[in-house]
Structure 1
Amino acid sequence: MKFTLFLAAALAAFSVQAQAQTAAAPRAAADQIATKKGPLTLQPITHGSVVLTWGGKTIYVDPYGGAEAYAGLAAPDVILITDIHGDHLDPKTLAGLSVGKALMVVPKAVAEKLPAEYKAQVRVLGNGQKLDTLGLRVAAIPMYNLPEAADAPHPKGRGNGYVLTLGGKNVYLSGDTEDTAEMRALKNIDVAFVCMNLPYTMDVNQAAQGVLAFQPGIVYPYHYRGQNGLSDVASFKKQVTAANKKIDVRLRNWYPAGK
């Protein structure tokens, strides 16, 4: 009897420990910025995925990397997907998350590839279109490669970057892009997440010049893993800071162990 109780206790302890390990998925610490309607929390996940929490709402951007990466976070109210590639549209990760009540804001190309079970949750936005929902605004920004070409990894019109407006703050999510005219023309961006990975998007120098053109208050280099490993985000920070000390460049670890 004592052995049975001991075994049961040991199994229970192992189960709790396993759950704790799952919940403690390695990820960079979250940041908070103040808005007119409460704090906005910015939680890096991995690569091009970030979770935003504001006003009691949770927004997942390009959920990718396995559901365990989101352990301990609230289920999404809104999911933004930028493009059809597997590091943005990741059905396996979506299947492991509680997304049943989430509004999915996506470009048409993504809507056509989403599993049928999500179709009722989808709202399609094309480049230049806007959506007001749940107290926030979502604007779809063109994202594409330069020079423009039909066979480019990211042709113009297929994918979306996004600008979210919440609590008076504007947050830009570049998706996969180069330093396009539309990026350079952005105004009043408080927080920007900007990609830099060759050969798919832009290099560090392009990213720095693009950011210096639209001058966000805070910028996070993200999506910086390419064919030759991780981009030199320290060089990006050095270039931006040398030219404009008012831009707060925040380096975070978007590639925890095993990702």
Structure 2
Amino acid sequence: MTTRRTFLTGAAALGTTTLLPFRLHAAAHAADAFMTANGQVTVHPIAHASFVMETPVGTIHVDPVGDAGDYADLPAPDLILITHEHGDHYNADTLAALAGDATPLIVNPAVYDMLPADLQARATSISNGESTSAGDVMIDAIPAYNTTEERLNFHPQGRDNGYVVTVDGLRVYISGDTEDIPEMRSLENIDVAFVCMNLPFTMGMEAAASAVNAFAPTYVYPYHYRGRDNGTQDPRDFAELVTGQTEVKIGNWYDGVMPS
């Protein structure tokens, strides 16, 4: 059974716990904090599919792309996760600018083969269904792929990763680019989920909400829904489709654009 953890807004650091409706939360652009046994995991959305998590055991950057200056006010990464090679998820120049000399990377096999030699030397490649750890962080690679016939070439089955990251007891699901697949629907005990929705490349909000309703995370962020064309899916409409006890959170990537 999932232990429901407390959701805090940025005001919590000042001793004030405020629970915001998702519409107000989107406007506030505040970082979100989720309490764990030994501290809190703070989520900082960057843009599109990129975000940062500060945790009691280090800072994790997920699919960092774009201008390294976008990360200047955040701690340097202690771990970097890459889901797949598309330019809105993987950029070697951004990685080189952000990663320290010993920063480990967890990547899918296709990205591993593309990495410059210095980054590849500290990267670990894991495939769908495999697991690894980085310090006190556990990482499970979850399949991420298209199922609709006309989209199969975007994300073929077996190539790309989603991840379940377990840190200080908090289980975080990162979908990467995928559709409403059985492996997502069967997830269990997810505290925080990041679920993509962006037609025609991944899935629409109806499919994303259906999957979320099936695996019922405590909190869910719709992400990856805004790109150069200002996006195809409205997170507000997605929130209306999510049922049960799952709480929808909207980060500041609502106002961001997919990096070039």
TM-score under structure 1 length normalisation: 0.84
Distance 2:191 2:125 in 1: 25
1:202-248 Cα deviation digits (max 9, x unpaired): 001000001001000000011102575321111100111xx32x111
Distance 2:255 2:229 in 1: 18
Amino acid at match of 1:154: H
Distance 1:199 1:258 in 2: 17
Determine helix, strand or coil for the equivalent of 2:143.
strand
Deviation of the 1:257 alpha carbon: 5.8
Q: Which runs of 5+ in 1 are unaligned?
A: 1-26
Amino acid at match of 1:211: V
Deviation of the 1:91 alpha carbon: 1.4
Deviation of the 1:178 alpha carbon: 0.4
Amino acid at match of 1:234: R
Residue 232 of structure 1 corresponds to: 234
1:30-53 Cα deviation digits (max 9, x unpaired): 111111121111111111011111
Distance 1:155 1:123 in 2: 21
Count of residue pairs brought into register by the alignment: 230
Residue 192 of structure 1 corresponds to: 193
TM-score under structure 2 length normalisation: 0.83
Q: Does 1:68 align with 2:69?
A: yes
Residue 178 of structure 1 corresponds to: 179
Alignment of 1:118-197 (within 5 A): 118-147=119-148, 152-197=153-198
Residue 252 of structure 2 corresponds to: 253
1:61–1:80 Cα contact (<8 Å) kept: yes
Residue 95 of structure 1 corresponds to: 96
Determine helix, strand or coil for the equivalent of 1:96.
helix
1:141–1:182 Cα contact (<8 Å) kept: yes
Distance 1:58 1:191 in 2: 16
Amino acid at match of 1:221: P
2:46–2:70 Cα contact (<8 Å) kept: yes
Residue 80 of structure 1 corresponds to: 81
Determine helix, strand or coil for the equivalent of 2:161.
strand
Cα gap change, 1:182 to 1:47, in 2 (>3 Å): same
Distance 1:99 1:222 in 2: 27
2:143–2:183 Cα contact (<8 Å) kept: yes
**Identical-residue share of aligned pairs (%):** 47
Distance 1:227 1:95 in 2: 24
Deviation of the 1:125 alpha carbon: 0.6
Cα gap change, 1:216 to 1:91, in 2 (>3 Å): same
Deviation of the 1:72 alpha carbon: 1.6
Distance 1:162 1:258 in 2: 23
Deviation of the 1:100 alpha carbon: 2.1
* Bigger shift: residues 144-153 or 45-54: 144-153
Higher relative contact order structure (alpha carbons within 8 Å, sequence separation ≥ 6) = 2
Amino acid at match of 1:238: E
Aligned-pair Cα RMSD in Å? 1.9
Q: Does 1:222 align with 2:223?
A: yes
1:148–1:155 Cα contact (<8 Å) kept: no
Determine helix, strand or coil for the equivalent of 2:156.
coil
Residue 33 of structure 2 corresponds to: 32
Amino acid at match of 1:58: T
